[in-house]
A and B are shown apart, each in its own frame.
Chain A
Amino acid sequence: MEPVAVIGVGMTEIKRERRADSYADLVFEAVRKALNDAGIGIADIDNVVTVSNDFFDGRTISSMAIQDACGAYDKNITTVEEDGTLGALFGVMRILSGSYGTTLVCAHHKGSESMMNLITNAMFDPVYERFLGIDSIASSAIQARAYMDRYGVTEEQCALVSVKNHGNAFRNPVAQLPLKLTVEEVMASPYLAEPIKVLDSCPISDGAAAIVLSGEEGAKGSARKPVWIKGLGYCCDAFHLGDRDLANSPSLAEAARMAYAQAGIKKPVEQIDLVELYDAFSYMEPMWLEGLGFCEKGGGGALTESGKTAHEGPLPVNTSGGCLSGNPILVAGLNRIIECVLQIRGDAGEHQVDNVKTALAQGISGVCGQSHCVWILGGEK
């Protein structure tokens, strides 16, 4: 793969509700921040990829609301309706195609204007499944239960993820929900759907994010240290929950295999310094770590318990606070990439981890991590 770099990043603060701000306001803020970070103007951008979802926005052609706010006037523009990691991946492909030099990718989401259970219920089969009332929480609970039963991972181990990530959020100024928790407090919080409790679950959030991607040429004079894309992979598993082995994530393993092959990663534990993954529910962190090959299947709970994934540990996971501390859906994938970029640049402020050379960002789409996207980012070309 020819070199492509992230040369600028911008995030809004993640809030429970940004009542005064429209989608366009949020996107404008994030794009302005990303352009300022890259030290360029909108005239330096030659194409735009937006990320949004018609259901969450309650608008057909949800990208129409932000065409002007993202600075796409008179530019080639398109819209990926999936997680931000996939939208950004398409932005990379547009550069690799040779058609473009510098790509802007932006994503927006207002959970405060969405009805989560209704909208995520619409992901399910309209004839056989929806009438059950199943939504993202209920389906994730089925997955969490399957995972815990198969491998003996405990609710306490998952609660520890929530304690860790909400704690990390204190150091991240854009995080929505820094919380000082104990495992006991997480365990005592009410069930949303057994075994997922309130404090195992991400909040509802409003936010936007943007990144600027550029080829080798555009990265040369960039204001910030370019962060290079070393590997990319994505893969989609079967749709019906009954057709899948919910206790494992084969599509994540495949996406990781693609990305690792490009990046030359053979032993992820040794070669990757930091991980930002999509922890919408606490069980997802150990499960995705297994899928990514950081430990054996079923070993994710013990890995968390060992303290290795803590901010000070040898493999810090979700130093941003993760989705558990703020989850503007779709935007969340870009936020994962942005945390890796800031860490590699050394610009992560209070949440900076020393000496991050290679980082992994991961996003999901569909039900229970049906589709996964994996990014490997590095400081060296």
Chain B
Amino acid sequence: MGGKRVAVVGVGMTRQRSSRPDVNGVELINETVRAALADAEMTRKDIDAVIIGNMDHFEGINYVEAWSVDGNGGLMKPVMKLTTGGTTGTTVAMAGYYTVASGLFNKVMVIGWEKNSESDTTGAINTAFDPFWDRPVFAGAVAGLALEATHYLHTTDATEEDAAYVAVRERKHALNNPYAHLHINLTIEDIMNSPYLAWPIKMGDMCPRTDGSCALVFASEDCVDDFPQKPTWVHAVADRHLWALLSDPYGHEAREGGSWFASLERASQDVYDKVGITDPLKQFDVAELYLPYSFAGLRWMEALGFCDRGGAPALVRSGATDMGGECPVNPSGGVMSSNAIGATGLLRVAEVALQIQGRCEARQVPGAELALVTGFGGAMWSDVLILGKDKPEKAGR
């Protein structure tokens, strides 16, 4: 069966902020839709379909796709809502890929957004978990991740300072990104001196909560020449949402010979096999990874195959993941600098599209041609995408 090859041809994002009291959600969405349309030099008329995602309980809006239709560009057009928690942004990007690849639509507007200033973020996240088994013991996003970090420190030689290095790196990178929420120049000491949220995670190790939106135009190979920007091609996408209970992955990982981060290992292997990636550190020019907290910048690099288990502290401290390194990670400043949850995964795709198009100015990775993107959410779920400058050899990946 056929299938079209698909590229990102337009990018729009808001400047990420802790609060945007000047706009409502529809207006926030509309800012990025207009920006993406302008970037692709197209008008609302040219949109064939709209895909949108966020997490309902943050803003308390049911049927967001219908509520936002005046701003999302989808009036009297096909509009679809997808949501998978933290992975929503990458989920909608993957949906944009499938929708265009299906051949039913040529130009699709993909939107991820969140207005966390209107939400009780931790309260809403708590309701994600099983009411009987998980809620009484896991409180929000921090506690679950603290378990993972504790297990990591227990089984490797890594230190809290190693994780702090990652937190510093992300915030340094954000200084070059005018769209990032946090612009703070920190040191490892600053991170170490910040208060504990849940040991070993400190305030400085954790992502903020952000108001922001992101919109991308995905287009079919049949019409990529209609746009002013060079296409950034989607080479492969995959996801694994392995668990239903938050306690499942930790039990699995704690066992002898257990996985390091099963969903990320398997989803990344899926896309690596499709594209022929055997040495991610060498083969990727840039990576935009959904790292919600600093320890993820260690353990998850190992799960992604950038180094062996326990090897991440040496890898990141070598500077290989800094700007100018072998594979800069999160030149945008990443999730630890901006986290409008429904937009977060899509912002990773937006950043690599801009990187591959060479439009990142102060944060540009020279010669970026092949990029890795991840999304994270749910009960340790993972989405993985590979995007590149060259048109893929075949469709259907």
- List A residues at the B interface (Cβ < 8 Å): 1-2, 24, 53-55, 58-61, 63-69, 72-82, 86, 89-90, 92-99, 119-120, 122-123, 125-127, 215-217, 232-240, 243, 250-251, 254-255, 258, 365-367, 370-371
11 A-B pairs whose Cβ atoms sit less than 8 Å apart in the complex = A59-B128, A61-B55, A75-B240, A78-B91, A82-B80, A122-B60, A123-B63, A123-B67, A238-B70, A239-B67, A370-B66
Binds A, one of B96-104, B288-296, B355-363: B96-104
Complex-state Cα separation, A240 to B66, whole angstroms: 10
Q: Indicate which residue in B57, B74, B239, B377 contacts A76 across the interface (CB closer than 8 Å).
A: B239
Q: When A82-B80, A366-B63 are in contact, do A59 and B127 touch as well, CB less than 8 Å?
A: yes
Q: Indicate which residue in B98, B125, B241 contacts A94 across the interface (CB closer than 8 Å).
A: B98
Q: Indicate which residue in B61, B66, B129 contacts A371 across the interface (CB closer than 8 Å).
A: B66
Can you name 9 extra interface pairs (CB under 8 A) apart from A215-B1, A236-B66? A54-B55, A55-B56, A61-B84, A65-B130, A86-B80, A96-B103, A97-B102, A238-B69, A240-B70
Q: Indicate which residue in A53, A64, A72, A92 contacts B128 across the interface (CB closer than 8 Å).
A: A64
Complex-state Cα separation, A95 to B101, whole angstroms: 10
B345 close to chain A: CB less than 8 A: no
- Which 5 pairs of residues, A with B, have the shortest CB-CB distance? A98-B3, A98-B396, A366-B66, A97-B101, A96-B102
Residues of B39-83 whose CB lies within 8 A of A:
50, 55-57, 60-63, 65-70, 74-83
Residues of the A chain whose Cβ atoms lie less than 8 Å from the Cβ of B77: 235-236
- In the complex the two chains form, is A96's CB within 8 Å of B104's CB? yes
Residues of the B chain whose Cβ atoms lie less than 8 Å from the Cβ of A86: 80
Closest CB in chain B relative to A47 CB, distance in Å: 9
Closest CB in chain B relative to A60 CB, distance in Å: 4
Residues of the A chain whose Cβ atoms lie less than 8 Å from the Cβ of B102: 92-94, 96-97
Residues of the A chain whose Cβ atoms lie less than 8 Å from the Cβ of B126: 60
Complex-state Cα separation, A236 to B70, whole angstroms: 10
- In the complex the two chains form, is B104's CB within 8 Å of A1's CB? yes
B397 close to chain A: CB less than 8 A: yes
- In the complex the two chains form, is B69's CB within 8 Å of A236's CB? yes
Complex-state Cα separation, A263 to B304, whole angstroms: 45
Closest CB in chain B relative to A229 CB, distance in Å: 11
- In the complex the two chains form, is B82's CB within 8 Å of A236's CB? no
Closest CB in chain A relative to B373 CB, distance in Å: 16
- In the complex the two chains form, is A82's CB within 8 Å of B98's CB? no
Total interface residues in chain B, CB < 8 Å:
64
B109 close to chain A: CB less than 8 A: no
Q: When A234-B78, A367-B66 are in contact, do A63 and B84 touch as well, CB less than 8 Å?
A: yes
Q: Indicate which residue in B4, B62, B69, B379 contacts A119 across the interface (CB closer than 8 Å).
A: B62
B111 close to chain A: CB less than 8 A: no
Residues of the B chain whose Cβ atoms lie less than 8 Å from the Cβ of A94: 98, 102
- List B residues at the A interface (Cβ < 8 Å): 1-4, 24, 50, 55-57, 60-63, 65-70, 74-85, 91, 94-95, 97-99, 101-104, 124-130, 237-244, 266, 270, 377-379, 395-397
Complex-state Cα separation, A98 to B237, whole angstroms: 12
Closest CB in chain A relative to B135 CB, distance in Å: 10
Complex-state Cα separation, A237 to B76, whole angstroms: 5
Q: Across the two chains, which residue of chain B brings its CB closest to A101?
A: B1
- In the complex the two chains form, is A82's CB within 8 Å of B65's CB? yes
Complex-state Cα separation, A1 to B105, whole angstroms: 11
Q: Indicate which residue in B99, B127, B244 contacts A93 across the interface (CB closer than 8 Å).
A: B99
Q: Across the two chains, which residue of chain A brings its CB closest to B85?
A: A61
Closest CB in chain A relative to B23 CB, distance in Å: 13
Closest CB in chain B relative to A81 CB, distance in Å: 5
Complex-state Cα separation, A95 to B396, whole angstroms: 9
- In the complex the two chains form, is A60's CB within 8 Å of B101's CB? no
- In the complex the two chains form, is A90's CB within 8 Å of B241's CB? no
Q: Across the two chains, which residue of chain B brings its CB closest to A127?
A: B24
Closest CB in chain B relative to A212 CB, distance in Å: 17
- In the complex the two chains form, is B239's CB within 8 Å of A93's CB? no
Complex-state Cα separation, A261 to B274, whole angstroms: 35
- In the complex the two chains form, is B79's CB within 8 Å of A99's CB? no
Closest CB in chain B relative to A306 CB, distance in Å: 31
Q: Across the two chains, which residue of chain A brings its CB closest to B242?
A: A73
Q: Indicate which residue in A58, A92, A236 contacts B74 across the interface (CB closer than 8 Å).
A: A236
Residues of the B chain whose Cβ atoms lie less than 8 Å from the Cβ of A234: 78-80
Q: When A74-B240, A239-B70 are in contact, do A126 and B55 touch as well, CB less than 8 Å?
A: no
Residues of the A chain whose Cβ atoms lie less than 8 Å from the Cβ of B79: 234-236, 371
Closest CB in chain B relative to A284 CB, distance in Å: 17
- In the complex the two chains form, is B239's CB within 8 Å of A77's CB? yes
Q: Indicate which residue in A65, A75, A81, A250 contacts B76 across the interface (CB closer than 8 Å).
A: A250
Complex-state Cα separation, A250 to B56, whole angstroms: 27
Closest CB in chain B relative to A376 CB, distance in Å: 14
- In the complex the two chains form, is A2's CB within 8 Å of B2's CB? yes
Complex-state Cα separation, A119 to B60, whole angstroms: 10
- In the complex the two chains form, is A54's CB within 8 Å of B56's CB? yes
- In the complex the two chains form, is B55's CB within 8 Å of A99's CB? no
Closest CB in chain A relative to B7 CB, distance in Å: 14
- In the complex the two chains form, is A98's CB within 8 Å of B395's CB? yes
Complex-state Cα separation, A368 to B379, whole angstroms: 35
Complex-state Cα separation, A212 to B102, whole angstroms: 18
Complex-state Cα separation, A99 to B65, whole angstroms: 26
Complex-state Cα separation, A234 to B77, whole angstroms: 7
Residues of the B chain whose Cβ atoms lie less than 8 Å from the Cβ of A54: 55-57, 83
- In the complex the two chains form, is B94's CB within 8 Å of A95's CB? no
- In the complex the two chains form, is A371's CB within 8 Å of B83's CB? no
Closest CB in chain A relative to B241 CB, distance in Å: 5
Q: When A54-B57, A80-B81, A234-B78 are in contact, do A99 and B101 touch as well, CB less than 8 Å?
A: yes
Residues of the A chain whose Cβ atoms lie less than 8 Å from the Cβ of B270: 76
Complex-state Cα separation, A233 to B105, whole angstroms: 11
Complex-state Cα separation, A58 to B131, whole angstroms: 10
Q: Indicate which residue in B69, B238, B378 contacts A61 across the interface (CB closer than 8 Å).
A: B378
Closest CB in chain A relative to B279 CB, distance in Å: 24
- In the complex the two chains form, is A90's CB within 8 Å of B97's CB? no
Q: Indicate which residue in A24, A72, A126 contacts B241 across the interface (CB closer than 8 Å).
A: A72
Complex-state Cα separation, A104 to B345, whole angstroms: 25
